[in-house]
Amino acid sequence: MKKKDNDTEVPEKFGIKEFMKSLALSIVFVLLLTNFVVKPIRVNGSSMYPSLKDKEIGFSNILSYKVFGAKRFDVVIVYVDELKEYLVKRVIGLPGEIVEFKNDTLYIDHKAISQPFLSDIYMNSVKGYFNGIFTNSFGPVILGDDEVWLMGDNRP
C-alpha cells in the first residue's frame, strides 16, 4: 500500500484480474438474486391503474411466492407466451374456487367478497363512461386445481 499526503491508504494497482473477478462475482450475485429472490418488473400499460401506473418499476418477491404461494389479492407477475412478455396482475380466484362477477360485485364460491384495494374515487369517476359498470359481469367460472384467476385493477 502506498501512503498519500493525508496518511490514507490506497491500493497500488487494481489489475485486470481483480476487475474480472469482481465483475464475475457481481454477475453471479445479480443472476441469483433476480432468479431466486426478487424479480424486477416494469409495468406496461394501464391495466393495474390506479394501484400501479404505466412504466412504474417494482420488484416481485419470488422467494415468498415459492415458500408461501399466491394469496388472494396478491399482485403477481405472469409470463404470457402468446405475447412474449410479463404482465402484472392481481390474484382474484384461487385453485378450486368458483369466480363470478355480478353487478360489480365479486363472488367467490357464491359469497360476496370485498375488494379493498380498488379506489372508490377512481371507480366512481370511470363508471360514468361505461354505463355505471366498473367490472363486466361474467361467470361462474370454476377454477381447476392448478389454476388461479387474475385480473387488472383497471377493469374497464
Active site residues: 47, 89
3-state secondary structure string across the chain: CEECCCCCEECCCCCHHHHHHHHHHHHHHHHHHHHHCEEEEECCCCCCCCCCCCCCEEEEEHHHHHHHCCCCCCEEEEEECCCCEEEEEEEEECCCCEEEEECCEEEECCEEECCCCCCHHHHHHHHCCCCCCCCCCEEEEECCCCCCEEECCCCC
